[in-house]
A and B are shown apart, each in its own frame.
Chain A
Amino acid sequence: MSTKTTETGANSPLPVLLPFRIEPTRLSVPRLAPVHALLFGAGLALLAGTAWAQADAAQLSPLEVIIKWAPLLLSGFAFNIVISMVAMALGTAAGLGVGLSMLSEKPLIARSAWALTQFFRNAPWLVLLFFVMFLVPFQITVFGIKIPLPDWAKATVGFSLPVMANVAEIVRGAVRSVPSTQWEAAESLAFTPRQTMWRIILPQCVQRMLPPWMNLYSLVTMATVQASIVGVSEMLTLTAQVHTAEGGRPELFAPLYGFALLCFFLYCYPIDRFTARLERRFHIR
Chain B
Amino acid sequence: MDVIPAWFQELYETTGLNFTVFYDPYDWHRYVDGLRMTCLLAVTTILVSLLIGAVGALLQTAPSRIVRSVVNVYVVVFRNTPPLVQIFFFYFGVGAMLPAGQDQFGLRQPFIDNVEWAIIALSLFAGAFNIEIFRSGVEAVPKTTVEAAEALGYTRLRAYVYVILPLALRVCLPALNNNLVNLLKTTTLAYAIAVPETLYAVKQIWSESQNVFEMMLVLFVTYGVLVGLLVWIMHRWEKALRIPGYGR
A50, chain B: closest CB distance, angstroms: 8
Q: Are B189 and A26 in contact (CB under 8 A)?
A: no
Which of the listed residues B65, B77, B187 has the most CB atoms from chain A within 10 Å of its own CB? B77
* Closest residue of A by beta carbon distance from B73: A36
Chain B CB within 8 A of A151 CB: no
**Complex: A19 Cα to B206 Cα, angstroms:** 70
Chain A CB within 8 A of B72 CB: yes
Give the contacting residue for B84; candidates A123, A131, A236, A251; CB below 8 A: A236
Known: A122-B227, A272-B79. A226 touches B84 (CB 8 A): yes
Known: A23-B63, A229-B191. A269 touches B88 (CB 8 A): no
B interface secondary structure, majority: helix
**Complex: A49 Cα to B21 Cα, angstroms:** 49
Of B28-36, B43-51, B111-119, B218-226, the one with at least 4 CB within 8 A of chain A: B218-226
Q: Are B185 and A125 in contact (CB under 8 A)?
A: yes
Q: Are B80 and A269 in contact (CB under 8 A)?
A: yes
**Complex: A30 Cα to B72 Cα, angstroms:** 8
* Closest residue of A by beta carbon distance from B87: A257
Chain A CB within 8 A of B53 CB: no
Chain A residues lying within 8 Å of B84, measured Cβ to Cβ, are: 225-226, 228-229, 236
Chain A CB within 8 A of B139 CB: yes
Give the contacting residue for B69; candidates A36, A122, A236; CB below 8 A: A36
Of B10-18, B90-98, B232-240, the one with at least 4 CB within 8 A of chain A: B90-98
The count of residues in chain A whose C-beta lies closer than 8 Å to any C-beta of chain B is: 50
Chain B CB within 8 A of A282 CB: no
Chain B residues lying within 8 Å of A122, measured Cβ to Cβ, are: 181, 185, 223-224, 227-228
Chain B residues lying within 8 Å of A32, measured Cβ to Cβ, are: 69, 72-73, 76
B181, chain A: closest CB distance, angstroms: 7
* Interfacial residues, chain B to chain A (CB-CB below 8 A): 60-61, 63, 65, 68-69, 72-73, 76-77, 79-86, 88-89, 92-94, 96-97, 135, 138-139, 146, 150-151, 153-156, 159-160, 164, 181, 185-189, 191-192, 199, 203, 206, 212-213, 216, 219-220, 223-224, 227-228
Interchain Cβ contacts under 8 Å between A and B, 14 examples? A20-B151, A20-B153, A22-B154, A40-B73, A125-B188, A127-B223, A134-B212, A135-B213, A218-B80, A229-B191, A254-B94, A255-B93, A256-B93, A264-B80
A-B pairs, top 7 by smallest CB distance, nearest first, are A254-B93, A250-B96, A222-B82, A124-B185, A253-B92, A268-B80, A257-B89
| 7 other A-B residue contacts (CB within 8 Å) besides A119-B224, A122-B228, A126-B189 | A30-B72, A125-B188, A130-B199, A135-B213, A229-B191, A236-B84, A261-B81
